[in-house]
Structure 1
Amino acid sequence: MTTTSSTGAAVKGRSLWDDARDRLLANRAAVASMIVLAAITLISILGPMLSPHPFDKVYRDYVKVPASFEAYPRADEVEPAFRSLLKRARVTIDDYVREGDSVIANISSGREIDPRTVRYVDRGDMFKNAVIENFSEDKKSAVLRADINFVHFYFGTDANGRDMMTRTFIAGRVSLTIGLLATVVAITIGVIYGATSGYLGGRVDQMMMRVVDILYSLPFIFFVIMLVVFFGRNFVLMFIAVGAVEWLDMARIVRGQTLTIKRQEYVQAAEAMGISDGGILKRHVIPNTLGPVVVYMTLLVPKVILLESFLSFLGLGVQEPMTSWGVLISEGARNMQGASWMLIFPSIFLTSTLFALNFIGDGLRDALDPKDR
């Protein structure tokens, strides 16, 4: 909208969306939460690409090791691990020395030493590039060299020896994707259905709400099992369908708001001007229900994430080797006494995400409140 100033120059007006954006940006808690949520999302997307450990790689020598900035193996772990590996190879260590990041050992055996003995060393997670050289004439003694394979586990490892940092990042991808997909589907269906029912009213409203009541009466787990039968174990398709079930609450909320909004003067004026029902819903009713919608959205995302954790526990959700924050927290709770880091790090990411969504929802509610316009 434009107006003309006293000098005759055209002055561009501000829309309601511009005012809402300015109010949202003035809310420090909401802005900080958007930054936190964007950082968590970015870490979840790029973290697994930058991590040196695949999310599904098992380190058998590093099961439930604590989180540490120091590289593994520790100095006091190198020699015992090296001797244990060569004991399995049935050779004797006559002399052992460590030079920097390598170990050198004079080995001997009652029979000829097989050059393939190095496989016993390379199979472990602590050493690499093992070679046997300087064989004696009878090949019953030689020199074995190996490099120490230093690795970092900044979040520790889980009960299967997998890097918790990479798995936490991958879990963020899964949880955020599930929450976003299910929420978008639920809100889209719920807003359109609820606004249409409330605005049309009468028998149409009664019939549409009876459909919602019937769907409420059906067991949710029945829908889940049915969706698994139709969509298989594809968690993306399954949670899109789960979102198609979670729209019932949204429909009731929007219907209640619509019953109030349609009695407002600006809606009655639009009807008197001959604007179609679809136009009134699009331009007047639905935009004025966005406050409750965004608040419910911030509640629905964590609800879907927790629902995913429940379904994964039943074997109907995310399957190994993929994981999610809910699954990691469930595993961490079972190992809380001996490996608290398995619970702490996924919980930090999940809690931060939930707090950020709540603050963003509060900021959007205040920014979109018609009373503040």
Structure 2
Amino acid sequence: MTDAAALLPPPAPGRSLWQDARGRLVRNRAAVASLVVLALIALACLVGPLLTGHPYDKVYPDYVRLPAGLASHPRAEAVPAAVARIAARIRATAGDVSVENGIVRLALTAPRPIDPRLLVYFERSDQFGAARIVESGDDGRRLVVVVPVKSLRFLFGTDGNGRDLLTRTLMAGRVSLSIGLLATTVALLIGVTYGATAGYLGGRIDMVMMRAVDVLYALPFIFIAILLVVFLGRNIVLVFLAVGAVEWLDMARIVRGQTLSIKRRDYVLAAEALGVPTRGILTRHVIPNTLGPVIVQVTLLVPKVILLESFLSFLGLGVQEPMTSWGALISDGARAIEAAPWLLTVPAGFLVTTLFALNFLGDGLRDALDPTER
């Protein structure tokens, strides 16, 4: 008997719900691709502003509403006009303008001697560096100067204030994704705990807890946001508080509905019969089995939170200048869509891509976490 038992193959190791879910998620190509896209967007928003070469709040008055493109600025054909404008401020006339290897050579003439200190106007511009006098004549009324050209690139163009749109879009992504993730996390923690407790305890406790949810539903969201601004002032933390204080209500209702059906399952009844405390039943049996609908709701809640933040910023209650968010950039771009369509398409492209990726990832997580698929 012992020899026969020794010949039997060892029992196969068991697999947990999380192991099965991970395997099904990896086989879902759309979900994996969406996860990669989200990771790339998050990495670009985190590291990108350090690599663009433009501070997010730097204003370039000479490059207002510049279209997107790969060419460097200023372009060669624009240099003579730019030099003429600066010469006019010096009260001189620019002539013999030539550009070679990024260096502009020109002659400044004026009816009276030119003060060399006025050449600082070249350095103060966004297009040129510090000017250097190489020749002087006519008692200072004629100066030959050389000026280096500042080569700047704006891959996504500039906004109405002359700020680099790529840098601002990536910085806006930091704000929007942070608000979406943190506010959703707050709503997730409060809503899951509240809904699971109400659904499992049932009876009068459930009734009282859900009536409190109904009362909070009756309060307008914008009213709560304005109250927080009045009492606490304007800062980005208010966005987390205002959104997190409202968005957990939907999560609580979803989790309560799932809990009402789960608490009648045999494994929950068996745990109750064995004397497992209520906290243990909630954390080990009820909440893990509600994760499928919860994850799907989370993937829908993140873009909803981003849109709510955009609404608050549009009203002046959210992110304040010079900081920005995708919603604020889209609002600015919508007002200038005819004159500068890239101001709308660039941040909207980032937002739409993020929303699609979140939706595909949510569908994949829903299928992977469905216990009936084991």
Letter paired with 1:72:
H
Question: CA-atom RMSD, angstroms?
Answer: 1.5
**What residue ranges of structure 1 are gaps of 5+ in the alignment?**
none
Judged with a 3 Å threshold, the aligned counterparts in structure 2 of structure 1 residues 236 and 5 are, in CA distance, closer, same or farther, namely: farther
Q: Give the Å deviation of 1:96.
A: 2.1
1:16 is aligned to 17
Question: Is the 1:94–1:106 contact (alpha carbons within 8 Å) kept by the matching residues of 2?
Answer: yes
Question: Is the 2:192–2:255 contact (alpha carbons within 8 Å) kept by the matching residues of 1?
Answer: yes
Distance 2:339 2:282 in 1: 57
Letter paired with 1:158:
D
1:301 is aligned to 302
Letter paired with 1:120:
Y
2:38 is aligned to 37
Q: After the TM superposition, which parts of structure 1 deviate over 4 Å for at least 4 consecutive aligned residues?
A: 4-11
2:132 is aligned to 131
1:199 is aligned to 200
The answer to whether the aligner puts 1:63 opposite 2:64 as a matched pair is: yes
* Aligned 1:85-164 pairs, distance under 5 A: 85-136=86-137, 138-164=139-165
- Give the secondary-structure state (helix, strand or coil) at the position aligned to 1:183: helix
- Give the secondary-structure state (helix, strand or coil) at the position aligned to 1:54: coil
Distance 2:360 2:291 in 1: 16
- Give the secondary-structure state (helix, strand or coil) at the position aligned to 2:126: coil
Q: Give the Å deviation of 1:241.
A: 4.5
Question: Is the 1:158–1:164 contact (alpha carbons within 8 Å) kept by the matching residues of 2?
Answer: yes
Judged with a 3 Å threshold, the aligned counterparts in structure 2 of structure 1 residues 6 and 320 are, in CA distance, closer, same or farther, namely: farther
2:315 is aligned to 314
Aligned length: 370
1:345 is aligned to 346
- Give the secondary-structure state (helix, strand or coil) at the position aligned to 1:106: strand
2:262 is aligned to 261
Greater mean deviation of Cα atoms: 100-109 or 362-371: 100-109
- 1:308-355 deviation per Cα after TM superposition (whole angstroms, max 9, x unaligned): 111111110000000111111111111111111111111111011000
Q: Give the Å deviation of 1:233.
A: 2.0
Judged with a 3 Å threshold, the aligned counterparts in structure 2 of structure 1 residues 335 and 284 are, in CA distance, closer, same or farther, namely: same
Report the TM-score when normalising by structure 2.
Answer: 0.96
1:233 is aligned to 234
Greater mean deviation of Cα atoms: 156-165 or 218-227: 218-227
1:27 is aligned to 28
2:220 is aligned to 219
- Give the secondary-structure state (helix, strand or coil) at the position aligned to 1:165: helix
Question: Is the 2:243–2:308 contact (alpha carbons within 8 Å) kept by the matching residues of 1?
Answer: no
Greater mean deviation of Cα atoms: 91-100 or 287-296: 91-100
- Which is helix-richer, 1 or 2? 2
- Give the secondary-structure state (helix, strand or coil) at the position aligned to 1:134: strand
Distance 1:130 1:313 in 2: 43
Question: Is the 1:186–1:244 contact (alpha carbons within 8 Å) kept by the matching residues of 2?
Answer: yes
Distance 2:48 2:251 in 1: 34
Distance 1:101 1:232 in 2: 49
- Give the secondary-structure state (helix, strand or coil) at the position aligned to 1:61: helix
**What residue ranges of structure 2 are gaps of 5+ in the alignment?**
none
- Give the secondary-structure state (helix, strand or coil) at the position aligned to 1:318: coil
- Give the secondary-structure state (helix, strand or coil) at the position aligned to 1:96: strand
Identity of aligned residues (%): 61
Q: Give the Å deviation of 1:234.
A: 2.1
Distance 2:71 2:290 in 1: 53
Q: Give the Å deviation of 1:242.
A: 2.2
Q: Give the Å deviation of 1:122.
A: 1.5
Greater mean deviation of Cα atoms: 297-306 or 176-185: 297-306
1:284 is aligned to 285
Distance 2:90 2:154 in 1: 29
Question: Is the 2:61–2:126 contact (alpha carbons within 8 Å) kept by the matching residues of 1?
Answer: yes
Distance 1:94 1:66 in 2: 29
2:356 is aligned to 355
Greater mean deviation of Cα atoms: 131-140 or 171-180: 131-140
